Chains A and B, each alone.
Chain A
Amino acid sequence: MPIANHHSSVPVIVDEDKCIADKGCTVCIDVCPLDVLWINEETGKAHMKYDECWYCMPCEADCPTDAVTVNIPYLLR
């Protein structure tokens, strides 16, 4: 059976065009209770570094530019 080593998608998607983490914003990173959001060194934008999410939503709600989308799995909705 093939083993999937890489996730093709993570639940928290950050729209890099909207994200202003490169300007110094760290709202989503600060509110995440699991500390799974980090700044991508290359782009300066926020991204989901660890795929572990409680779907608690403050990152999406508090993002000043509406750049964050949390995709809640169908069975949790």
Chain B
Amino acid sequence: MKTYDDPELQAIAIKLTSDDPGIRRVAVMDLVDSGEPEAVELVIQALQDPDTKVRQEAAKVVDEFEAEDMADALISALNDSDEVVRNSAAHALADLKDPAAAEPLLKALESSTDSFVVSGILRALKPLRNLGAQSPALARLDDPDPQVRREAVGVIGWLKQPENLPALVKTAKNDPDPDVRRSATGALVYANPQQVGQALVSLLNDEHWQVRCEAANSISKLDHQAAAPALMEATKDDLWQVREKAVDALGKLGVVEAIPVLGECSKDTMSNLRKAAIGALGTIAHKDGRPYVVTALDDPDPDVRKLARWAISKLDAAA
């Protein structure tokens, strides 16, 4: 057995050789507190322990160490018989963002059926942007588990491949889970406005408010000018959160025709919305917006007043 200079680490190493899995487990728990870089070796050793509980405990502490030092051990842990271990390994590998991890992750994805693990692996694959993940992710868009579908949307969104847009649009419009629809709506931003503009406009009428918010966001990110009338309509949404995003988007798009509706929003009872409206009027910096901004200089909310002063300076600069 290897000996360590640090007496604490040495004591842990000795405990890790115990026949009692309970003692080995407690030793792994103690590893976290060791500042020695060599402690990683013992974590790797514990990840291969015959006892599940010990491996689980080791999996819990992996994120306290540099994943780089134990990439191989983590990759083999992806095939662990225990779900907790597999999932922690996928998480730690995701932090690693090492392109070399893509291959084993894809292999592990093939053999995984558990939704929890599948979503963990997909999450790890996402930042690697490996094209090999495309077809498995597309296939998982029809998974019965919404968590898996959401992670699959994430993978596809990060890949930014134009050919995946129809699948993403379909998910954004038709998925039964609002959270999945929201992710898909947010993922559409890599497209050309012509390709997804219509879909995003229709998503402004989704039954779930977070999807509507995300649709307004995506429209503003894509600078989809043709959506202006729909956004103006969305400033009358039942929920102020949606109104706020629509107002933000109108400001970013610089829609001069929207000034009357923005003025309407600058008188809303919800101060967050007033703030967004004044911000948008300042961004557009068109003289027609000035009366609303001047009124807002006396707003009861100090944040709105502050923003109104900023908007006045923008209007003055534009004049």
Contacts and interface: CB of A to CB of B under 8 A. Distances in A.
A33 interface: no
Interface stretch (A6-14, A19-27, A51-59): A19-27
Interface stretch (B18-26, B266-274, B277-285): B18-26
B248 interface: no
A64 B32 CA distance: 14
B57 interface: yes
B27 interface: yes
Q: Chain B binding site: helix, strand, loop or mixed by DSSP?
A: helix
Contacts of B15: 24
Contacts of B23: 23-24
**Interface bin, chain A:** under 10
A64 B20 contact: no
A27 B20 CA distance: 19
B57 A24 contact: no
B254 to A, nearest CB: 51
Contacts, number: 20
A23 B26 CA distance: 7
A70 B62 CA distance: 29
**Interface bin, chain B:** 10 to 19
B191 interface: no
B29 interface: yes
A64 to B, nearest CB: 6
Nearest to B60: A64
Contacts of A23: 20, 22-23, 25-26
Nearest to A64: B29
Interface in A1-39: 20, 22-25, 27
Contacts of A27: 29
A63 to B, nearest CB: 11
Contacts of B57: 64
Nearest to A24: B26
B84 to A, nearest CB: 12
A20 B57 CA distance: 13
A22 B20 CA distance: 11
A24 B21 CA distance: 12
Interface in B220-241: none
Interface string B25-58: 1110110000000000000000000000000010
A57 B26 CA distance: 21
Highest count of chain B CB atoms <10 Å: which of A20, A22, A24: A24
A45 to B, nearest CB: 12
Nearest to B20: A23
Interface string B109-130: 0000000000000000000000
Interface in B52-77: 57
Contacts of A20: 22, 25-26
20 contacts: A20-B22, A20-B25, A20-B26, A22-B22, A23-B20, A23-B22, A23-B23, A23-B25, A23-B26, A24-B15, A24-B23, A24-B26, A24-B27, A24-B30, A25-B26, A25-B29, A27-B29, A64-B25, A64-B29, A64-B57
Given A20-B25, A23-B20, A24-B27, 4 more contacts: A23-B23, A24-B23, A24-B26, A25-B26
